[in-house]
Amino acid sequence: MALPVGLAPSAAAADVQSQQWYLSAMKADEMWKTSTGKGVKVAVIDTGVNPSTPSLQGQVLGDEVSKPLSYGATKDINGHGTTMAELIAGTGNGGGLKGLAPDAKIVPYRVAMRGMSLAEENKAPDPVAVLKAIADSDVKIINMSFADDISYDDEQAAIKYAASKGKLLFAGTGNDAETTNKKMYPASYPYVVGVSAIDKTGKVGKFSNHGASVDLSAPGVNVPAWCNASFRSYCSHVNGTSVATAIASASAALIWSAHPDWTANQVLRSLIDTAGREWPKDTPSNYLGYGIVRPRKVLENPHYNPGSATADPLATENWRGKPGTSPSGSASSSTPSAPAKSTPGGATSAADASSKSSGNNLTWVVVGAAALVVIGGAAFAVIRSRRRA
């Protein structure tokens, strides 16, 4: 796959921030009066992050990544990881992307991705080690804008460990909706919030994965992004669940910054409870999950009750509907049977849920991509190489 994030960028964008339509749709200016993400660290596991772009200067904490996991962390190979970081925490300086949580900080990591040379893949840090390191740090949110159709037991265990340490994990559900619609990871792992992509009308993108892995949806259609690793210009009309994942992570950062004593369960529950939807909350859609993220609805309500600190709001999905305990050992609030994620849901504004909707108005889509497994080196080590979501 040649293009980053399964995206299709077109001409270079002259005025990037004017193309960030979701900022006005989500009423970012109003939210920033209450929260800008200050005090929240977001780990971006991706193609590396360039800390020298005008929008990211002072925003990237590369020194907090220990060796050997620091290899490539602050050198982006194609602009994808830098775009995700800017969408989350960019300051907008120099006409660059304005992050939804502009005072959050980015902790960068590089893992093997499709499009890397074999040499780069071999040098890339082990994703399991990366996840464990993040779990043991003071990072609150883990952004994983990539997708792989192979599940790994050790990776799943590392995800569970990170969740047990109070981290909130987001991942893109994938971009091959019009082809195979395979189940993708890490979005399909328990404890990971799978994010699909919507356009400015609230419709799911044609490319965006549907299925049980979709927990929330966020803007991810027609957004500017860095064209390549030269960092000379942005490209417009970029699409991908990668973008949606970054917006969801930034939404969580805004809420967590305003409520630093909340747990990951409470932050996620607030996103689910206030998500834009026009269908029953206990019957999530295959296409939009529990709905479109609307952090403003939490931030504007000083009396919002986030519920139990220990009960997992996705317990039904994480335990296949069986009662159990949370990753930290606390009792969960799972229900006897998992809700059928078969309702398409409707088109809903990124800011409000008042628009009329119909399942037929959605662009129904599927996802899928085979993971690239590279065999190389004298020891024939298996390198996990992921698609950008």
First to last CA, the chain: 11
In angstroms, rounded to a whole number, what is the distance separating the alpha carbons of residues 217 and 293?
6
Nearest to 308 by CA among 321, 291, 325: 325
The full set of domains in the chain, from first to last, is 9-388 (3.40.50.200)
Instruction: Give me the chain's average pLDDT, please.
Output: 83
Q: Is 87 in contact with 97 (CB distance < 8 Å)?
A: yes
Contacts of 380 (CB under 8 A, 6+ apart): none
Q: Hunting for tokens 């195979």 — which residue is that?
A: 180
For 87-129, write each residue's pLDDT tens digit.
999 999 999 999 999 999 999 999 998 888 898 889 999 999 9
For 144-168, write each residue's pLDDT tens digit.
999 889 999 999 999 999 999 999 9
pLDDT band, residue 2 (cuts 50/70/90): very low
Question: How far is CA 279 from its chain centroid?
Answer: 23
- Both tokens of 295, joined, read 């952090």
Residue 77 confidence (pLDDT):
93
Is 70 exceeded by the pLDDT of residue 51? yes
Residue 379 confidence (pLDDT):
29
For 172-182, write each residue's pLDDT tens digit.
999 999 998 89
Nearest to 389 by CA among 173, 228, 223, 225: 173
pLDDT band, residue 288 (cuts 50/70/90): very high
Report the percent of the chain where pLDDT is more than 90.
Answer: 71
Is 70 exceeded by the pLDDT of residue 85? yes
Q: pLDDT: is 137 or 339 the higher one?
A: 137
What average pLDDT does the segment 350-361 reach? 33
Helices (DSSP H) in 45-116: which residue ranges?
80-89
For 311-355, write each residue's pLDDT tens digit.
999 987 775 433 333 444 333 332 222 333 333 333 333 444 333
- Both tokens of 251, joined, read 């939404």
Which residues are annotated as catalytic?
46, 80, 242
Q: Is the dihedral of CA 66, 97, 29, 245 positive or negative?
A: negative
Q: Is 371 in contact with 185 (CB distance < 8 Å)?
A: no
In angstroms, rounded to a whole number, what is the distance separating the alpha carbons of residues 34 and 260?
13
Is 80 exceeded by the pLDDT of residue 388? no
pLDDT band, residue 13 (cuts 50/70/90): very low
What average pLDDT does the segment 73-80 reach? 96
For 179-231, write each residue's pLDDT tens digit.
988 999 999 999 999 999 999 999 999 999 899 999 999 999 999 999 999 99
